[in-house]
A = this chain, B = another copy of it.
Amino acid sequence: METITVELGARSYPIHIGEGVLHDKELLKRTVAAQQVLVVTNDIVAPLHLSALVDTLPLSVETLILPDGEQHKDLATFERIIDRLIVLGFHRDACIVALGGGVIGDIAGFAAACYQRGIEFIQAPTTLLAQVDSSVGGKTAVNHRAAKNMIGAFYQPSAVLADTATLQTLPPRELSAGLAEVIKHGLILDAEFVVWLEDHIEALLALDAAALGHAIRRCCEIKGTIVAEDEREHGRRALLNLGHTFGHALESLGGYSRWLHGEAVAIGISLAARVSAALEMIELADCDRIDALLKRARLPEGVASGVDVEAMLASMQLDKKATSAGLKLVLLDAIGHAVVKPAPPRALLHEVIDRHICA
């Protein structure tokens, strides 16, 4: 097991990464100290990992099994969690453990942030996407039908328990979705890591334990450092949204069910690169290199037929990086170096999207 610390002063917390951390009785005893614990998970993860976790936890705990899928990450499901906490008579010193992927972490984290104005919260991510990205950094939210993650809070967990053994049961599509966020971390600020990924993408797809361990640790290091510098995204943290302005718009247009989050982000990364090339910030060869890596990770890099480009541009205006001064985009001025820029003219965006993804 390896441990990385996210440095946030009094709210610093550890990320424990390794095979079997959810079966480590000593670790769970130290980490989950509350007397009242609710484990929130979904109907896909529950049969695979819930009973093992419940058996390993030091005290008897309550469980809540939600339906799987981004389309359930809404206020109605949030209210189900709150209702359950109330019925259980949970107090302010209670704890929620989120066992699952990014959806479970986001919604359970938002419930923890709001119940009695904030109770303890522990992330137990079981997907690659959650282990490399969404479980770290304290962004919690639910979706609005018009736009993604519009209702939420910055609310840090007290610990992250990333058990890499859970990835062995991950469906291939979910594994690829997680790789989109892994590739994103490299593109943002670690060109060497991109080269490493180009050398190890097949090993990752084959669930090679050493390769997965390295990728997860490197992503957590990159993300933890940026979050420590800029917790509430007043500046640098926005870089982590490479591909997300496009991706969120696609997810919303797809009713939060057509693409997995990571798939939409992959298309978004490809689009961000094409926009960067159109602005002569990078070469077209860089775009092709990025698309090739996404494709080898079995991600949709440039295929999104049937998307209404104008509807997509309208949805992008709701992006949280937009201010009253206009939309901003995370673009690349090199592989391994992202920057935040005011969006180029709408006509250019329209053309890039139209040419690239609707082909």
On A, residues with C-beta under 8 Å from B are: 34-36, 75, 79, 82-83, 86, 89, 91-94, 113-118, 139, 141, 144, 146-147, 149-154, 232, 317-318, 320-324
Out of B75, B83, B152, name the residue touching A117 (CB < 8 Å).
Answer: B152
B144 touches A82 (CB 8 A): yes
Complex CA–CA separation, A75 to B111 (angstroms): 13
In the bound complex, residues from chain B placing their C-beta under 8 Å from that of A116 are 150, 152, 320
A85 to chain B, nearest CB (A): 8
Q: Please name the 4 residue pairs, one residue from A and one from B, whose CB atoms are nearest each other, closest first.
A: A35-B324, A93-B323, A116-B320, A117-B152
Pairs A–B under 8 Å by Cβ, sample size 14: A34-B324, A35-B324, A82-B144, A82-B150, A86-B144, A92-B322, A93-B324, A116-B150, A116-B152, A117-B139, A117-B153, A117-B232, A118-B153, A118-B232
Out of B89, B149, B153, name the residue touching A318 (CB < 8 Å).
Answer: B89
Complex CA–CA separation, A320 to B85 (angstroms): 12
In the bound complex, residues from chain B placing their C-beta under 8 Å from that of A321 are 92
B115 touches A153 (CB 8 A): no
Complex CA–CA separation, A232 to B113 (angstroms): 12
In the bound complex, residues from chain B placing their C-beta under 8 Å from that of A146 are 86
